[in-house]
Structure 1
């Protein structure tokens, strides 16, 4: 983690592929199922056009990271991925050590494409494993089983220099001992990075409807906190400590793209429903594109982009966003940078109160981070510091 990265945040490109083979019942992401084949060549051409628009907006920057997310980007043909990555490298300078990540589902068909993605330039894959138990995979609406997931992990480790995979814990009926055993299995399979998320019930999802009807029983908050504490202990002991609330890595293997977000860097967001944050001249812009895939496609073909939001952020908004993102990190935040962004000083009395109550801790000159207790009420901690 270079000092430049901590201070300036870096620059990345996020590419949103919005299509999935099926919609998971817990998911509230902008993902869509299509029962007819997607015209990948037409979408690739639209990505190229929208990238051109953003390249003209950002000027000459060096890309530290590219993230192909979704949806299910591993439904793209390797040739589609190659077109998109070529478009990026044609429009911006690429850092010598650029990280290019692709999210993938561990079905055997998609795993067979891994060599094609590697040839296209992908050097890091993130697998949506979610569980190593077949019963829970079925509950979560996943299309793969545990054996397929293990095989995909094996192929990914053979194909890509870097690998991460996701697991969801605090699932209905899950025990602490069961999670500990599963997590230790996962650590044995993992190369250098794990993303470990507590299951949350998001409004508008099938799980939300079931939960409201009393048909899906979730762990009590106190048990959820125990799951979180156990997760930190097991991963820390295994040499994959948390560097962010839900992300764990061996030192040096942190996801560079996500660090751009959390360090409040600049990032272009292309594709349906993608968001971005860009510094243009003296302005900080928040961008968002049309969420509906086919509408986005038509807009890009007509106007050269699918933007539905391109708004300047005020100083107070920038300060709040910087706190909300940066306090997720174990490296914490530089309070001097907050004051530079927000154009105001932090009230020392409020900061001292948070320190005294154990919500934040000092980790060097003018740097603080949220404690474990602070993570559970992060919105309130941010509101206190920002007020």
Structure 2
């Protein structure tokens, strides 16, 4: 990076979202490295906890109020964990509380993650009545054998039942799928994708199974994992097959029907702002002085204790340095196949384009960044070596 004067940031033009984290699951999956914890056992234990936790989320969000300004919230994402463990009444109280504190855009996208093993038809309707207008269902596979190997609590029958209910209640829903699974073949993958594409879902998120440090799979590697060549072939097949079904790939893992791209994720990838509340949640906000990141306490008990005692739940607050901004921006923006306009870099980082011009020139010369005038995006080769391209901005 080259030394250049910073451009004054204007927070008013930066899109704003909210992320809310529900940290509990029925059981943690062996591949999962998210901040998730086993739900409390016993009659009424979770119901008692959810009320306290919703209160904490709303109190936590109030810490962000000075940073909102006149901006409207464009999207809300309730992730986890397994937020579908919440009751419909708790979800309503949560979203009503958000509306009471922040101005929501009239067409705000409100997504909730759900797992098939925690859903009944009545819950779908209650979540929809509370204001959720987009569901993201963690199907992962349509094979009972592969679901068992993944440690999932649901089976294929429950997955299909959840999809039917979602189709009846929601106009817009996503399915999460995984590929390169233990024992998976190309024919098995084709069958999975075909069922997902014909399910009525408007969006599919397709993730390669990766073995993350600290997970159960990292300690005990599953058998029959596809090798690197097979995994790459599967990734190419996912894109070509779904394109034939009308799902356009628009980011590394995202495939959407026209007009159904995930607006919340697009705000992440274009380096927008997002307030965050919940155990382990990460937030980002733009001020005139710079870009600030915050992380909440990971442990739900510590998180609840802090807010219950009137203290901040922030485990870390720091301003992103000018030296780190190019990498942080590209870590997000280059996930998009279309990339971003060059002007977005300066608008969202406060740095002039000249500060990264030598790096862009080098990557273009190597065929990793496209030569589109006024736009920054990877070539197909660059997408295949995305981590290397992103790290060039360090």
TM-score range, shorter chain: over 0.9
Matching of residue 374 in structure 1 with residue 379 in structure 2: no
Partner of 1:345: 354
Contact 1:358 1:371 in 2 (8 A): yes
Q: Tell me the distance in 2 between the aligned counterparts of 1:320 and 1:161.
A: 37
Q: Displacement of 1:351 after TM fit?
A: 3.0
Counterpart for residue 4 of structure 1 = none
Structure 2: which 5+ runs fail to align?
1-11
- When normalised by structure 1's length, the TM-score is 0.92
User: What's 1:10 paired with?
Assistant: 15
1:88 alignment partner in structure 2: 98
* Pair 1:356–1:136, CA change in 2 (3 A): same
Shift of 1:375: 2.4
Q: Secondary structure at the match of 1:360?
A: coil
Indicate whether 1:28 and 2:33 are aligned: yes
Q: C-alpha deviations, 1:1-20, integer Å up to 9, x for none?
A: xxxxxx95521000000000
CA distance in 2, matches of 1:129, 1:245: 19
Q: Deviations over 1:210-238 (max 9, x none)?
A: 12xxx534222222111111011011111
Question: 3-state DSSP class of the match of 1:285?
Answer: strand
Per-residue CA distance 1:292-319 (angstroms, 9 max, x = gap) = 0011001011235311111111122222
Distance in 1, matches of 2:193 and 2:115, equals 19
Q: Runs of at least 4 residues of structure 1 off by over 6 A? A: none
Equivalent residue pairs, number? 376
Q: TM-score, normalised by structure 2?
A: 0.91
Residue number among 309, 313, 324 corresponding to 1:306 in the alignment: 313
Q: Summarize the alignment of residues 257-268 of structure 1 with structure 2, pairs less than 5 Å apart.
A: 257-268=264-275
SS in 2 for 1:15: strand
Superposition CA RMSD, Å: 1.9
Checking the alignment, whether the CA contact within 8 Å between 1:333 and 1:367 is kept in structure 2 is: yes
Q: Whose relative contact order is higher, 1 or 2, with alpha carbons under 8 Å and at least 6 apart? A: 2
Q: Give the unaligned 5+ runs of structure 1.
A: 1-6
1:1-387 → structure 2 map (5 Å cutoff): 10-36=15-41, 37-38=45-46, 39-107=49-117, 109-211=119-221, 215-339=222-346, 341=349, 342-343=351-352, 345=354, 350-363=359-372, 365-384=373-392, 386=393
1:105-147 deviation line (CA, Å, top 9, x unaligned): 1126444311000110000000000000100011111111111
CA contact (8 A) 2:279 2:298 kept: yes
Residues 84 and 119, structure 2, Cα contact 8 Å, conserved in 1: no
Task: Give deviations 1:315-334, integer Å, cap 9, x for gaps.
Answer: 22222111110000022022
Cα 1:110/1:319, change in 2 over 3 Å = farther
Q: Identify if the C-alpha distance between structure 1 residues 41 and 347 changes in structure 2 by more than 3 Å, giving closer, same or farther.
A: closer
For 1:133-170, what per-residue CA distance to the aligned partner results, in whole angstroms no more than 9, with x for missing partners?
10001111111111111111111011112100100001
